[in-house]
């Protein structure tokens, strides 16, 4: 009898272990309220309201007056972009902004797609919803949410959207795209309370997609969009059919990652490192430290005292442009620091760059966008979401000039179902805006891979 009990307990324990092991760990979260004051007692407003970007003579007159009153300061000789945005070139950008840039025309371009707002957890969430014009007979559009980062906006995806919703290749999938503005960015209302981090944004975007009738969908993100969409996959892995990202830093290195750092330069094949991995991962220590110091000062400011620096940027359009556009220079290619014009128009047009700046200026969102760093870093790096692996099928687009290089081994440490890892031919941090065609191709290939496996 005793032996039978032991056997039963052993079998039961084994079954329990296997069941627990088979369960996909999920990230836990609770509903929040981010509106001003206390939450109302009434029924939640779930209405969806059309929204249009607008401007006025008063808005443009105020902008021009502030630009005219800017106080230029000379750059050091032979400094290019190594001290920040070069002042001589900034004057050229400002002159174009003041005399040639047509904001009204860009407003019409922004309104090319349908914009909406809906209230979730007490704040108005802005988003684009782009439905394809033509879906091949016998197929359905693939729902996809795309999330931007800082100092970008939903406008980053304007070159990518038509490639996904109106693909030229009849063999390609047709996507139905939702592009929200992270609360506190662009035309989404800023949270009125402390604590709104990436997990809160992920929870709100899940509610948004459900409100739009999508019970399963794909997600794409870079920069903060990488973390928000990753959190979406961690919160509801059964809802996110596939996750595609082009940024994947890892704050919790495992043993394999630590060993790869220690031994990877000498034994690269042991860790699957390519020649490119070795070149990116193993410069001298001094160079790594210096590069980190050069490019992370903004992060320390925004993760500690965003309201102080942000107030000045909110008052000065020229200061705001310099602060934002400097990132579009150095984050596109570190070599651009050595150019007088920062290489800005080598990959982007001034019209597109200034449109992104104007979204920040006209919405007055720079301070609240910077606070997102405070909310995410203020609680330390050891957050619950950093300890939860992602078991949703994942694709990673590895652009060569990304701020942080993440080899395949490191991506797999976090994303346990990595289906595609694509070394891209060119491109940097703002890849969706810089190389929309390459990004569209990789999203297509990844999604086809997931759909094929499901069939």
| Rounded distance between C-alpha atoms, residue 141 and residue 26, angstroms | 28
CB of 93 closer than 8 Å to CB of 349: no
What residues have CB less than 8 Å from 25, skipping those under 6 apart? Answer: 388, 389, 391
Per-residue H/E/C for 302-345: HCCCHHHHHHHHHHCHHHHHHHHHHHHHHCCCHHHHHCCCCCHH
Catalytic pick among 124, 172, 197, 223: 223
Catalytic pick among 89, 155, 360, 373: 373
Annotated active-site residue 78? The verdict is no
| Rounded distance between C-alpha atoms, residue 423 and residue 411, angstroms | 13
Which of 61, 65, 177, 108 lies closest to 351, judged by CA? 108
| Rounded distance between C-alpha atoms, residue 249 and residue 105, angstroms | 38
Alpha-carbon 43 to chain mean position:
32
| Rounded distance between C-alpha atoms, residue 32 and residue 216, angstroms | 23
Catalytic pick among 113, 413, 429, 442: 429
**3 state SS of 411:** helix
Annotated active-site residue 307? The verdict is no
Annotated active-site residue 215? The verdict is no
Catalytic residues: 223, 373, 429
């Amino acid at each position: 009898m005793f032996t039978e009990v032991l056997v039963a307990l052993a079998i039961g324990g084994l079954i329990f272990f296997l069941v627990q092991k088979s369960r996909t760990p999920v990230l836990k979260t609770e509903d929040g309220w981010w509106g001003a004051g206390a939450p109302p007692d009434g029924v939640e407003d779930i209405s969806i309201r059309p929204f249009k970007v607008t401007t006025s003579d008063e808005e443009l007159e105020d902008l021009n007056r502030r630009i005219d009153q800017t106080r230029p300061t000379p750059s050091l000789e032979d400094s290019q972009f190594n001290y920040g945005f070069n002042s001589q070139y900034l004057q050229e950008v400002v002159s174009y902004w003041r005399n040639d840039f047509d904001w009204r025309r860009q407003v019409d371009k922004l309104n090319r797609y349908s914009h909406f707002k809906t209230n979730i957890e007490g704040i108005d969430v802005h988003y684009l919803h782009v439905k394809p014009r033509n879906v091949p007979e016998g197929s359905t559009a693939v729902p996809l949410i795309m999330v931007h980062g800082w100092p970008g906006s939903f406008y980053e995806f304007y070159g990518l959207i038509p490639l996904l919703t109106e693909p030229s290749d009849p063999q390609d999938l047709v996507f139905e795209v939702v592009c929200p503005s992270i609360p506190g960015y662009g035309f989404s209302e800023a949270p009125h309370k402390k604590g709104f981090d990436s997990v809160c944004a992920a929870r709100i975007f899940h509610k948004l997609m459900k409100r739009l009738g999508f019970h399963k969908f794909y997600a794409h993100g870079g920069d903060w969009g990488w973390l928000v969409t990753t959190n979406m996959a961690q919160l509801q892995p059964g809802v996110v059919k596939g996750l595609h990202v082009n940024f994947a830093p890892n704050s919790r290195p495992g043993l394999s990652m630590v060993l790869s750092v220690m031994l990877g330069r000498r034994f690269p094949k042991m860790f699957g490192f390519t020649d490119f991995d070795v070149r990116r991962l193993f410069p001298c220590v001094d160079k790594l430290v210096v590069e980190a110091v050069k490019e992370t000062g903004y992060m320390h400011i925004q993760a500690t005292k965003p309201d102080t620096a942000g107030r000045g940027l909110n008052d000065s359009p020229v200061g705001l442009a310099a602060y934002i556009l400097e990132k579009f220079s150095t984050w596109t290619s570190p070599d651009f620091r050595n150019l007088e014009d920062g290489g800005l128009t080598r990959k982007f047009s001034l019209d597109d760059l200034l449109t992104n700046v104007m979204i920040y200026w006209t919405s007055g969102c720079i301070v609240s966008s910077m606070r997102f760093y405070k909310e995410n870093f203020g609680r330390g790096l050891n957050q619950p979401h950093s300890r939860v692996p992602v078991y949703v099928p994942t694709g990673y687009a590895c652009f060569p000039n990304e701020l942080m290089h993440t080899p395949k081994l490191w991506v797999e440490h976090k994303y346990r179902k990595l289906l595609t890892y694509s070394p891209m031919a060119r491109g940097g941090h703002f890849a969706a805006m810089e190389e929309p065609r390459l990004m569209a191709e990789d999203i297509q290939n990844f999604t086809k891979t997931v759909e094929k496996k499901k069939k």
